Amino acid sequence: MLSLIGIFQRSNKTRKKKTVKANTKGTVNKTYLKAMSLRDLSELDIVKSEVRSGKILILRITPLATKSIEDVKRAVNELCEFVESIGGDIARLGEERVAICPPNVKIWREKAPVPNKPIPTAA
């Protein structure tokens, strides 16, 4: 059985052999996905500049959480305000990660099913 490392190495070799012709009518814009860790509040400016440049970020917040939960709350609030101001999108990915997207990318969210039963009210 092949390991994933072997598969990725073969994929890289195959990718190097292929040539891709650019669109002659214009340039091809690429959107990159980048994984980062947030260790300190001072790194928020780097995160913001990466999103402004059009990258999608998967931000690991565990390193900051081990230092201060209050700093994590501040960072998430600041990032939410930033993303809203540029028209991007942000979502939590489990307990350790946050996805941050530039304005041209939206995060799909599954809508909660509406219950068939009436909601009980206080009498």
- Domain contains 81: yes
Phi, psi of 56, deg, nearest 5: -90, 130
> 91 lies in which domain range?
30-101
Domain count of the fold of the chain: 1
- Domain contains 111: no
- Domain contains 45: yes
- Domain contains 88: yes
pLDDT at 2: 46
Enter the pTM of the model: 0.69
Query: Which CATH number characterizes residue 43's domain?
Result: 3.30.110.150
pLDDT at 1: 44
How far apart CA 15 and CA 9 sit, in angstroms, is: 10
- Domain contains 69: yes
Residues 38, 64: contact at Cβ < 8 Å?
yes
pLDDT tens for 77-110 read 999 999 999 999 999 999 999 999 999 999 998 8
Q: Is 56 helix (H, G, I), strand (E, B) or coil?
A: strand
Q: Mark the ranges of the chain whose per-residue pLDDT is less than 50.
A: 1-2, 18, 20
